[in-house]
Amino acid sequence: MALTTIGSSSDTAIQGRVAEALEGDTDVKGRLFEAALIACLLVSLAVLALLVGKVLGDGLPVFADRGADFLDGSLSSQPDRAGISQAIIGSFWIATSVVVIALPLGVGAAIYLEEYAPRNRLTAFIEINTRNLAGVPSIVYGLLGLAIFVEYFDGFSGNQGVNRRTLAAAGLTLAALVLPVIIITTQEAIRAVPQALREGAYGVGATRWEVIRSQVLPYAAPGILTGALLSIARAVGEAAPLIVLGAVTGLLGGGTGLSASSLLDPSSLTERFTALPITVATWAKRPEQEFNVDDAAAAIVAMLVFVLLVNSIAIVLRNRFERKRSA
Amino acid sequence: MTEPVAPATTAASPRSTTATAPAPVPRTAAAGLSTGAPDPSQLPVVFEVRDLSVYYGSFRAVRDVDLDVRQHEITAFIGPSGCGKTTMLRCFNRMNDLIPGAHPEGTLNYHGVALYGPKVDPVEVRRRIGMVFQKPNPFPKSIYDNVAYGPRLLGTKKRADVDAVIEESLTKAALWDEVKDRLKESAMGLSGGQQQRLCIARAVATKPEVLLMDEPCSALDPIATARIEDLMQEIKTEFTIVIVTHNMQQAARVSDATAFYSTDVNPESDRRTGVLVEFDRTETIFSNPSDERTENYITGRFG
Amino acid sequence: MATTLTPFSPSDLTGDPRRQRRERAMGVVFFLAASMSVLVSALILVSLFSNGWDFISQVEWSRVVGVNSWNPRQNTYGITTILAGSLIVTGVAMVVAVPLGLGGAVYLSEYAPPRARSLLKPILEVLAGVPSVVLGFFALQWIAPNIVGTLFGDDKGNSGSMLAAGIGVGILSIPLVASVSEDAMRAVPDALRQASAGMGARKLTTTTRVVLPAAVSGLVAAFILAVSRAIGETMVVFIAAGAVSTATFTTNPLDSGLTMTAAMASLASGTDQVRGASLAFPSLYFVGIALFFFTLVLNIIGNAFVRRVRQAY
């Protein structure tokens, strides 16, 4: 809107014209674009809501009907008697393997790469190797577990044949799967430690390990913990390697229900096993609707409670400490 | 950030006197001293540096350093930015070991022993030669744990022993009265000047012989700076101090000997190499320097 | 405190041997930990090739190449069939994930006020944590009847299809596309946006003409990494793509199909899972080799693009 001659009759007329000119045209295209972008996020939100809604809608009635029995029960060919106690035990030991095996190894490897390793080709090779491992499809880790842990090491049991497909082999396989992720997230957490902190400690005459133990690790601990929690959740949700490792899908004998003693009994490690995601996958493929809708959804609910809870704690933890550190 | 006003009980030397020698120092160092002030050439040499160059990989960062650091004196390194003062300082406690590829060539002796000798443990070196950094870097722990860190590494375990070291060190750093009632509070809650004095306390807790100070006051306000300069004069009787400073007046106020560094541009590579231009008693450097470059720097013609 | 009255000897600087021993031991411990990851790689290669070799050396290659179906029980190992399956599912997944992920990332990076960002970003993070079996269930039980069925008729919606599975994999991939793209856009210096705005350009123009082109390395990286992840995805297809253990060659997403990963899963879970004269077991490792190298190459290229983003700014 162009300004006309300055000699207009009144000031307000000029002001009006200037205001109009500065307002410009309504940015229709821009508004539509922004709306489309928000829509993308809202679609994701809608999908998430739908998904949770469907799972809860199909699964909660099972809990309402026979909640304790469902948690306590064993795998069965009959959908109204099938339960996830053995799956919970399997997933418990898989989570434990991650904590006991992958976490120390991963943190140790990250400490080496960040604090000890010289900047040479060997170090670069180890780092590239780790990055590539993080992108290997999970089912390939199953192949590793089958060939090495099951076949070569007999599943760390004295068994023969298919009885070598033990929970121990599964635990080790999933620990190997999340190891690269733990290494990478721990490396990032260590890198965030300010160099001034290390120098203060070295300056007083601390050895490298003493500096790491007393300054670096405490400072990096929240970040390391976040990575560990995300890895545990990931390991519990993975099914593909377990299929290759021979997780039981039909019937698993010896189910004694869910209790502290059955959960913590380490002899499960040398026996055949099942786990929550495998149970979900198997039931989802069964022809009976009570299996492929109701029971599968209920098992998903049980699994999601754990996975989403752990993930949320990790995210909250990370956000709190990010804010605290940058404050 | 202003410093809290020092309570009357802390011993603070009056700002107006020069706290070094009780009598006026003659113009030339070589002339005999007229009063009972210690003759500098009689003081034992703590660090003997001859013909030293420091390399980062193949890049020579500093060259031609020749100087002696004498016991119970304050030696200042001055000069414009980038001329290797900090690099040189960090050689004295082997902190340069932390940078891959950093290594000195030449002679660097500590009480006659080669500091970079094959059997020398850098960790032991740093126990005896402490360091205070440019930006105060207390650990994110309590005041108590900050000072106790060094002694605990060395094996002091009993509560009473640690307490004694804490009190002694904080007193030497002129911080005890201000924090004695809140030792368990986080060190991060202290002001900048207090944090730096805490870092000094932390450094002296391992009972070192030498204190290296890398521009310790550059991040502090003038009042905090004054307190630390006073502190240096007080503890000089117990330690040997080497200080890097950008502040010429500070060096003139505080130090006994001064080394002036400058840079040389390498015509082929266009990279700068630091070089020691002149090393002498402070009075000489500031009133009667031998080298023209020194004269230009202290009169403000460049730098 | 060392004084100079007593002579000072080199041994005064040798330090505490106990602390030195502990220091050396810890260094060794950490090195061994780091070498574990190299060990894992080595073990993957060993297990793939020692078992896959049987297949490679014994199979009749006419039963592999060419447009055969995939039917291990009948000694037919048409790898193009399962490869086509992987590509179709991945293609559908990218059609879903790229617009939604990129759109979300553009909003979060360029438009969202901080409060909206802190509310909306967690949605993507929660979605990233959903295990793939859950998406498989959702794909079969909801996407197939309500989307595929609605669009293409009930008969297609009542069973699995590569389309349903593809949409499921796409949903799984949205967070990855979004986070890599967002990182790439946030790495673009503000100075560029300000220069554009200073010339009077509107936000739409600045975003599409300045920011996105500047972030293109990262966007390419996001795409490649998402493709690699989608190709490696197993459970969604295993549950929702309709095929059990065999598939015929097809390029129609509405058909049921097998991807490389689902073929491996069904091979591994088949009841004839005993090593025997049949090549079914080694074929598992053969497909594994193919999958491993396919995704490895994609990841290397994708990571190279990510590094370019980091270096450019």
Task: Return the number of other C-beta atoms located less than 10 Å from residue A250's C-beta.
Answer: 10
Tell me if A111 sits within 8 A of A212, measured CB to CB: yes
More confident residue, C43 or A67: C43
Token duo for residue B52: 């030293």
Q: Is the pLDDT at B290 greater than 70, yes or no?
A: yes
In angstroms, the CA B135 to CA B193 distance is 10
B202-236 pLDDT tens trace? 999 999 999 999 999 998 999 999 999 999 999 99
Q: Is residue B89 part of a domain?
A: yes
A213-228 pLDDT tens trace? 999 999 999 999 999 9
**What is the least distance, in Å, from the CA of A265 to any CA of chain C?**
27
Whether residues C136 and C38 fall in one domain: no
pLDDT (average), residues B141-170:
94
pLDDT at C276: 57
Whether residues C198 and C276 fall in one domain: yes
Which residues of chain A have a CB within 8 Å of the CB of B130?
Answer: 203-204
Q: Spell C223-247 as b/e; 16+ CB within 10 A means b.
A: bbbbbbbbbbbbbbbbbbbbbebbb
How many structural domains are present in chain B?
1
Tell me if B90 sits within 8 A of B61, measured CB to CB: no
Contact across the interface for A205 and B206, Cβ inside 8 Å: yes
**What is the least distance, in Å, from the CA of B292 to any CA of chain A?**
36
A81-125 pLDDT tens trace? 888 899 999 999 999 999 999 999 999 999 999 999 988 899 999
Q: Is residue B175 part of a domain?
A: yes
Whether residues C184 and C69 fall in one domain: yes
Q: What is the CATH number of the domain that holds C193?
A: 1.10.3720.10
Whether residues C51 and C122 fall in one domain: no
pLDDT tens digits in sequence order for chain C, 313 residues long: 444 446 677 778 888 888 899 999 999 999 999 999 999 999 999 999 999 988 888 888 877 887 778 888 787 888 889 999 999 999 999 999 999 999 999 999 999 998 988 888 888 999 999 999 999 999 999 999 998 888 888 777 778 899 999 999 999 999 999 999 999 999 899 999 999 989 888 888 888 888 999 899 899 999 999 999 999 999 999 999 887 888 888 888 888 889 999 999 988 887 545 555 577 788 899 999 999 999 999 999 998 988 887 776 6
Q: Is the pLDDT at B273 greater than 60, yes or no?
A: yes
DSSP, residue by residue, A144-162: HIIIIIIIISGGGSS--GG
Range of the domain at C191: 61-312
In angstroms, the CA B130 to CA B153 distance is 14
Q: What is the CATH number of the domain that holds B48?
A: 3.40.50.300
A121-143 pLDDT tens trace? 999 999 999 999 999 999 999 99
Contact across the interface for B124 and C13, Cβ inside 8 Å: yes
Q: Is residue B137 part of a domain?
A: yes
- Nearest chain B Cα to C23, which residue? B123
pLDDT at B14: 42
Q: Measured between CB atoms, which of B98, B100, B126 is closest to A204? A: B126
Q: Is residue C184 part of a domain?
A: yes
Q: Is residue C40 part of a domain?
A: yes
Q: Is residue C297 part of a domain?
A: yes
Confidence of residue A18 (pLDDT cuts 50, 70, 90): confident
Q: Is residue B17 part of a domain?
A: no
Contact across the interface for B114 and C10, Cβ inside 8 Å: yes
Whether residues C307 and C218 fall in one domain: yes
Q: Is residue C237 part of a domain?
A: yes
Amino acid type, A139: I
Which residues of chain C have a CB within 8 Å of the CB of A292?
Answer: 140-141
Range of the domain at B244: 42-298
Which residues of chain A have a CB within 8 Å of the CB of C35?
Answer: 126
Q: Is residue C10 part of a domain?
A: no
Q: Is residue C248 part of a domain?
A: yes
Whether residues C219 and C257 fall in one domain: yes
**Average confidence score pLDDT of chain B:** 85
- Note the pTM of the prediction, 2 decimals: 0.88
Q: Is residue C126 part of a domain?
A: yes
Task: Give partners of A (≥3 CB pairs < 8 A).
Answer: B, C
pLDDT at B141: 93
Look at residues C310, C181, C296, C137 and name the one whose alpha carbon lies nearest to residue C229: C296
In chain A, the domains with their CATH numbers are 61-326 (1.10.3720.10)
Q: Measured between CB atoms, which of B124, B135, B149 is closest to A204? A: B149
Whether residues C94 and C243 fall in one domain: yes
- Nearest chain A Cα to B135, which residue? A196
In angstroms, the CA A297 to CA A286 distance is 13
Q: Is residue B142 part of a domain?
A: yes
Whether residues C248 and C266 fall in one domain: yes
Confidence of residue B1 (pLDDT cuts 50, 70, 90): very low
Whether residues C81 and C127 fall in one domain: yes
Tell me if A268 sits within 8 A of A88, measured CB to CB: no
Q: In chain C, positions 32-61, which contact chain A (CB-CB < 8 Å)?
A: 32-38, 40-41, 43-44, 46-48, 50-51
B49-89 pLDDT tens trace? 999 999 998 888 998 899 999 999 999 999 988 888 999 99
Q: Exposed, middle or buried: residue B245 (CB in 10 Å: 0-12, 13-18, 19+)? A: buried
Q: Exposed, middle or buried: residue A10 (CB in 10 Å: 0-12, 13-18, 19+)? A: exposed
How many structural domains are present in chain C?
2
More confident residue, B24 or C150: C150
- Considering Cα of C30, then C32, then C38, then C43, what sign does the dihedral take? negative
- Considering Cα of B195, then B200, then B204, then B206, what sign does the dihedral take? positive
Confidence of residue B37 (pLDDT cuts 50, 70, 90): low
Whether residues C172 and C36 fall in one domain: no
Contact across the interface for C10 and B71, Cβ inside 8 Å: no
In the 8-state DSSP scheme, what is residue C7? P
CA dist B186 → B159, B195, B198, B225 (Å): 19, 11, 12, 23
> What ranges make up the beta strands (E) of chain C?
70-71, 76-77
Of the listed ranges A158-172, A285-299, B149-163, B262-276, the least confidently predicted one is B262-276
Amino acid type, B94: R
Q: Is residue B85 part of a domain?
A: yes
Whether residues C298 and C156 fall in one domain: yes
Q: Is residue B28 part of a domain?
A: no
Contact across the interface for A196 and B140, Cβ inside 8 Å: no
Which residues of chain C have a CB within 8 Å of the CB of B119?
Answer: 10-11, 13-14
In angstroms, the CA B115 to CA B212 distance is 15
Amino acid type, C210: V
In angstroms, the CA A81 to CA A74 distance is 8
Q: Is the pLDDT at A39 greater than 60, yes or no?
A: yes
Which residues of chain C have a CB within 8 Å of the CB of B208?
Answer: 1
Whether residues C139 and C75 fall in one domain: yes
More confident residue, B303 or C44: C44
Q: Is residue C42 part of a domain?
A: yes
